[in-house]
Amino acid sequence: MSILINKDTKVVVQGITGRQGSFHAERMIEYGTQVVAGVRPGKGGEWVLDGKVPVFDSVKIAKETTGANTSLVMVPARFAPDAMLEAADAGIPLIICLTEHIPVQDMMRVRSYLDQKGVRLVGPNCPGVQTPGECNIGIIPGDIAIPGNVGVVSRSGTLTYEVLYALKNVGIGASTCVGIGGDPINGTNFIDVLQMFQDDPGTDKVVLIGEIGGTDEEKAAQYIADNMNKPVFAFIAGKTAPPGKRMGHAGAIVEGGAGTAEDKIKALQAAGVQVADHPEQIAELIKG
């Protein structure tokens, strides 16, 4: 089985007429993902990707016409908050937002509204979600993972790819991979995904990929200790990062004596998690 997405997921791409939107929508279709619609105001009635996908003026019309149940947001940062709100108002239950550089204040407003609507948001500033062999929504390369029983949740896009590929190279597959993004305000956190993996009969083991900044990994460690009976493996990036210096992601900064890699590793190990020294070692630990 899987979490969040599967072969029956129907995707509407907001921003499909843009260069990035069209490129990645094409890759998703090649993977087998059901991209049933695109949205671009003023472009309704057109078809894109060699006539494969119809374009609509609004998410509401796209959903009513095609039955889309998931939105992929690939629009510039200044338009992304309204795009997510539009998808929520249209009744889309799952929104995956790849857009980066969305102001924190805007995301606070969006997150509050989506919570009121009962809408699940993955992202922003994330690589997306992939259920290998069934559905790929976002920019996770389609050829780096094989179907299996290991659930993967990560704050880092590139480390996600590295771990998935390392697993594939030793014959280990993934049930679902969820890139939650590294922004300070996001829609889905480690605990949300860990709970889904714990409840998923198709997931037997879990990989958590974290990084410096914030206390999400420490909270996840406590959740693992209290609620999970499936083995969890982890890697924490940023062990050599200097305190007070922002490293990559908007949330990857150590402040006020909290959020160091050392603290996160200690918390995870105390919860019984096997923590790798480098990303590729996760495959070795799982294989035993």
Asked if 9 contacts 137 with a C-beta cutoff of 8 angstroms, the reply is yes
Strand partners, 55: 38
Annotated catalytic residue, options 24, 101, 249, 278: 249
Residues 6+ apart with CB under 8 A from 247: 211, 212, 213, 238, 241, 253
3-state SS class at 159: helix
Give the rounded distance of the alpha carbon of 69 from its chain centre.
Answer: 17
Active site residue 249: yes
β-pair type (147-154, 205-211): parallel
Helix (H) or strand (E) holding 177: strand 174-179
Residue with tokens 């290998």: 132
| Active-site annotation, residues | 249
